[in-house]
Structure 1
Amino acid sequence: MRLIANFLEGKNRARREAIIIGAATLIVWVLAHFGDGYERLTAFVVSHEDWELDELILALMLAGVAGHVYAGRRLWDLRRESNARLVAESKARWIAYHDYLTRLPNRRFLEERAQEEVEHLFPDHDYTVHAIDLDGFKKINDLIGHAGGDALLVQTAERLTDLFPNGLVFRLGGDEFLAICRRRTPEDQERFSLEVVETLTAPMIIENSHAEVGACIGFATAPQDGSNLKDLAELADMALYSAKRTGRNMVRAYDTSMKEEMSHRAAVENRLRQALQKREITPFYQPLVDLQTGEIRAFEALARWHDQQDGFISPDIFISMAEDIGLIMDLTEQLLLKACEDATTWPSNIQLAVNLSPKMMIDRLLGIRIIRVLGQTGLAPQRLEIEITESALIADLDLAKTVIRDLRNAGIKVVLDDFGTGYSSLSQLSNLYFDKIKIDKSFVATFQSNDKQMNIVRTVVALGKGLGITITAEGIENASQMEALKQLGCRYGQGYLIGKAMPQEQVHAHLAGVGPQQTDTTAASSSGCA
């Protein structure tokens, strides 16, 4: 804007000077006309021929003509330069307010200029703001590379532009988009949002490969939810967060309870940080037994947090929260250190099992961190079992191989947890070596009444025997389940029937078979140390 102002100021100054010069020229001409100026000048030159005044006047005239030509060329160059600067500034302004990849307006445009656009498009303030987030984009980016990920984002932008032809579409960064269109009735808005999800999740052809992502949408509507675009975008984002927590490819409309939920979550996050600083999150231990003999073989460390304000908070809540805010590594290291210290007081034949968060598998030094904890506590590596879920392996298989190799070289056992619920289970078994496989509790819960589930459990047990890998069944809650698993040849089991998670002070009594077991007030969650 300053460049334009300077240019306009320059044009005004040149115009003023041109008027002054023109006026002066006119005055001189009038005086010369009425005073016979030319005739007098001619007579003077003739009478003073020896002064060579005619040649001097000719030189001055030629110099004047040359000066006018030079001035004209400079004015032309100045005009061309000014136009080039205006074009360059226009391009710079476009770049500042648009995403270079998708050509959509960006977050800066949304914050600084979108309100004017919305008021122009929707003068009656009757519009809906959609916050859109892709699910699984990072996995696609890892599989087909950044160029493929960029192509997917471009196709997504094109689909959104087609879906909102009379509205506005923004790319806010990463795989986040925002779209604005005229308000519909609640029923039509719900239906339209589901159509947007269906369109975005349809397969895309990228580099001769099919790629699919999920999408979640949260939306807020003017004027009932708010009249300011900035506020509506924040409310739509709250609705999006609620939709993502509900599941994949979900749609949610904003309601006032979401603001209270976000406020409560922020408070819990703050208390979680304080709890980590004060080491208030402690491990409870759930026993794993040999189904054939009934003897306890191991305890799995499960994170438990008793908050002074809300009481026991579910691990499903605070562990996912720790993952979201980047505290999962600190949480796991704290719990692993305490669990290893506790395990050194158990009989030497009792193992300690610790579950790792998938978010931790991106750390190439993870194995070294765990080995360092063993060195600090003095727990023998052979007594530690690290449980890794299938979903933790899919992001970077080569990195997973490195971590597992480091652990097994140190003598630590590695367990494939929640088998059958992730991706490419048999592929993982062929690429990686595991000491144990844990059958997910979702199979154990219904395998007696469901022939397909029974066949799956039977096949996994047989697969373990064929590969020389020990099988553990999770979620055993009644005697008939345990007896059926024994008959199938499953070696180990854990669940509420065998024992709930208990604090360290009750472990020795439980091993001795005396004393009451404290009820695990965190319900049926079996979330691990991380």
Structure 2
Amino acid sequence: MSFLRSKAGIQAILVAVLGLSLLFVFSSENASERLMDFLDAHEHRQFDEIYLMVTILGLFSFVYAVLRAWDLHREIARRDRAERQVGWIAEHDGLTELPNRRAFEERIKAFAAGNTKDNIGVFVIDLDDFKKVNDLIGHHAGDAVLVEATRRLKEIFPHEEIFRLGGDEFVVLTPLRQGVDMDALGERITHRLALPFEVDGITVEIGASAGYALYPEHGDCMEYVLRCADAALYAAKAQGRNNVFAYDRTLRERVLYRARIERELRAAIKDNLIVPHYQPIVRLRTGEVIGFEALARWKDASGQFVPPSEFIAIAEESGLIVELTEKLLRDACSTATGWPKSTTLSFNISPGQLQDRLLGLRITKILHESGLAPNRLEIEITETALIRDMEAAAKIIHDLHDAGIKVALDDFGTGYSSLAQLANFSFDKIKIDRSFVSSFNEQRKQRKIVRAIIGLGLGLDLQTTAEGIETAEQRAQLLGMGCTLGQGYLFGKAMSASETLQLLSDLETSPRSRVG
């Protein structure tokens, strides 16, 4: 059918119609008898031989045309298959073969266009403790768990639409037929996914949390209903493992708040209302300011600061994180060019961005535009970011080092596989998480952990930076353990770009002045 709709197919149909029309005319006018009489009358001029030759050539031309048309038909069919395959790949997850986020977004558009009139239940499912599978056994085990989890979901929902939105998050759309019990379905989900997984002879036990909302009962926009189901999922996870929560009006405020924050976030990015502030990083022994860490600060219309832990997560979920990060890094690099050439800039990369294999190129482009030397920039990466896609992370870290940019492992000690990350990746610095620093004076075990991290840094010839230093006693203890750098309220809170210039100017004019 695709051949007949093509240009060549239409031309073949027209030629066939013309040929049949001529055949009909010739038959009705006895044209063939007249032609034979003409050939007999002029046999001495060899018209009959010429007629035979033209007939044979015409026959061969017809056969050739048929063969070419058949080849063209096969080529069109092959291209159609290839296009369908490319389309399938673009809208499906390569590991589980489930429809992906892009396919789900197309499904949302279908709902928005009014192409679906059914009542739909929307489940959002998240695997509990999935991270520890990747950390403790390896990513091959994590992939095997995801494939098995997909198989179990298909057993529960053999005819429903199942999507993998990314990581260990799934969405199921199930028609609300008469007698469907969403709570019972949710219990089946959590029960099946809580059963042990067998991976390479190792028994893995995780679990799952689920939240659900109803379309159109909870909203006439599928995107809004998904947010409602997300809010129910968060409520379920807050209660522990293997819980199912239904969306209700008590969660409405959370959904509306998130939607408002996302809307305001888009406007704030557009209007450059989110700006970097800078917290000093000092050499513990001397108090010398050797650099600043850039931290995002957003003051909303009411004059209140929105916590970065809140809007950074929303920026990642809504796809705004790339634009936000590039603007912040560009501003920070521009500010850093006004500092002394020995003063460095530290900048955090969110976990979602470390899956962008072009991240290294984006950063080097910004450095080139701003004129900041690559060796003055230090990119901070968390362990959480590393384990999402270790192959992509390795490439990005390699690209950054090739460009002369330093890389620090942030929040060291808070993940499952800190030592493994130090073995697998090349870092220039370790940052000790503030959760250890805040309590190590009171808790002997925490103090031992901090001492071990500092010792590890010394053994690997890596600098260590302790975060969250608030008292002179903490500073003295860390210095005694061998920690080299520190940051925290003892040395200064995050400040504006102009305040950093003033601080550095004061330190330069008063050589004996030191922070902390």
Q: Same fold (TM over 0.5)?
A: yes
Q: Is the 8 A contact 1:404 1:414 kept in 2?
A: yes
The corresponding residue for 2:147 is 150
- Give, in angstroms, the shift of residue 482 of structure 1: 1.4
Of 157, 168, 177, 2:172 maps to 177
What's the TM-score once normalised by structure 2's chain length? 0.65
Matched ranges for 1:310-389 at <5 A: 311-389=304-382
User: For the residues of structure 2 that align with 1:157 and 1:226, how far apart are their CA atoms?
Assistant: 26
Of 258, 261, 266, 1:268 maps to 261
* Secondary structure in structure 2 of the residue aligned to 1:511: helix
The corresponding residue for 1:398 is 391
Matched ranges for 1:14-53 at <5 A: none
Query: In the superposition, relative to structure 1, how do residues 381 and 253 fare at CA in structure 2: closer, same or farther (>3 Å)?
Result: same
* Secondary structure in structure 2 of the residue aligned to 1:286: strand
User: For the residues of structure 2 that align with 1:432 and 1:146, how far apart are their CA atoms?
Assistant: 21
Q: Which amino acid aligns with 1:152?
A: A
User: For the residues of structure 2 that align with 1:405 and 1:438, how far apart are their CA atoms?
Assistant: 20
Of 487, 491, 494, 1:494 maps to 487
User: For the residues of structure 2 that align with 1:380 and 1:300, how far apart are their CA atoms?
Assistant: 16
Query: In the superposition, relative to structure 1, how do residues 315 and 236 fare at CA in structure 2: closer, same or farther (>3 Å)?
Result: closer
Query: In the superposition, relative to structure 1, how do residues 101 and 426 fare at CA in structure 2: closer, same or farther (>3 Å)?
Result: closer
The corresponding residue for 1:407 is 400
User: For the residues of structure 1 that align with 2:480 and 2:290, how far apart are their CA atoms?
Assistant: 19
* Secondary structure in structure 1 of the residue aligned to 2:299: strand
Q: Is the 8 A contact 1:130 1:236 kept in 2?
A: no
The corresponding residue for 1:282 is 275
- Give, in angstroms, the shift of residue 385 of structure 1: 0.6
The corresponding residue for 2:249 is 256
User: For the residues of structure 2 that align with 1:233 and 1:169, how far apart are their CA atoms?
Assistant: 21
* Secondary structure in structure 1 of the residue aligned to 2:305: strand
Matched ranges for 1:206-285 at <5 A: 206=199, 208-219=201-212, 237-243=229-235, 246=238, 249=241, 251-285=244-278
The corresponding residue for 2:423 is 430
* Secondary structure in structure 2 of the residue aligned to 1:303: strand
The corresponding residue for 1:69 is none
Q: Is the 8 A contact 1:235 1:254 kept in 2?
A: no
Query: In the superposition, relative to structure 1, how do residues 405 and 471 fare at CA in structure 2: closer, same or farther (>3 Å)?
Result: same
* Structure 1: gaps (5+ residues): 1-99, 119-128, 162-167, 515-530
Question: Greater CA radius of gyration, 1 or 2?
Answer: 1
Query: In the superposition, relative to structure 1, how do residues 101 and 483 fare at CA in structure 2: closer, same or farther (>3 Å)?
Result: closer
* Secondary structure in structure 1 of the residue aligned to 2:279: strand
- Give, in angstroms, the shift of residue 410 of structure 1: 1.6
Q: Is the 8 A contact 1:477 1:496 kept in 2?
A: yes
- Give, in angstroms, the shift of residue 475 of structure 1: 1.0
User: For the residues of structure 1 that align with 2:489 and 2:421, how far apart are their CA atoms?
Assistant: 29
* Structure 2: gaps (5+ residues): 1-95, 99-103, 165-169, 508-516
Q: Which amino acid aligns with 2:150?
A: L
Q: Which shifted more, 400-409 or 235-244?
A: 235-244
The corresponding residue for 1:52 is none
- Give, in angstroms, the shift of residue 245 of structure 1: 7.4
Query: In the superposition, relative to structure 1, how do residues 172 and 455 fare at CA in structure 2: closer, same or farther (>3 Å)?
Result: same
* Secondary structure in structure 1 of the residue aligned to 2:386: helix
Between the aligned residues of both structures, percent identity stands at 41
* Secondary structure in structure 2 of the residue aligned to 1:353: strand
- Give, in angstroms, the shift of residue 337 of structure 1: 0.5
- Give, in angstroms, the shift of residue 498 of structure 1: 1.5
User: For the residues of structure 1 that align with 2:314 and 2:225, how far apart are their CA atoms?
Assistant: 23
Please list the CA deviations of residues 472-511 of structure 1 after superposition, one character each: whole Å capped at 9, or x if unmatched: 1111122221111111111111111221101111112223
Matched ranges for 1:188-207 at <5 A: 197=190, 199-206=192-199
Query: In the superposition, relative to structure 1, how do residues 234 and 355 fare at CA in structure 2: closer, same or farther (>3 Å)?
Result: closer
* Secondary structure in structure 1 of the residue aligned to 2:447: helix
Q: Which shifted more, 306-315 or 239-248?
A: 239-248
- Give, in angstroms, the shift of residue 221 of structure 1: 9.7
- Give, in angstroms, the shift of residue 213 of structure 1: 4.7
Q: Is the 8 A contact 1:361 1:399 kept in 2?
A: yes
Query: In the superposition, relative to structure 1, how do residues 337 and 221 fare at CA in structure 2: closer, same or farther (>3 Å)?
Result: closer
Query: In the superposition, relative to structure 1, how do residues 276 and 183 fare at CA in structure 2: closer, same or farther (>3 Å)?
Result: same
Please list the CA deviations of residues 9-67 of structure 1 after superposition, one character each: whole Å capped at 9, or x if unmatched: xxxxxxxxxxxxxxxxxxxxxxxxxxxxxxxxxxxxxxxxxxxxxxxxxxxxxxxxxxx
- Give, in angstroms, the shift of residue 196 of structure 1: 5.8
Q: Which amino acid aligns with 1:240?
A: A
The corresponding residue for 1:8 is none
User: For the residues of structure 2 that align with 1:148 and 1:459, how far apart are their CA atoms?
Assistant: 34
Q: Which shifted more, 392-401 or 340-349?
A: 392-401
- Give, in angstroms, the shift of residue 150 of structure 1: 3.3
User: For the residues of structure 1 that align with 2:447 and 2:302, how far apart are their CA atoms?
Assistant: 44
Query: In the superposition, relative to structure 1, how do residues 397 and 182 fare at CA in structure 2: closer, same or farther (>3 Å)?
Result: closer
User: For the residues of structure 2 that align with 1:210 and 1:257, how far apart are their CA atoms?
Assistant: 39
- Give, in angstroms, the shift of residue 295 of structure 1: 0.9
Q: Which amino acid aligns with 2:343?
A: I
The corresponding residue for 1:131 is 123
Matched ranges for 1:452-467 at <5 A: 452-467=445-460
Q: How many residues align?
A: 387
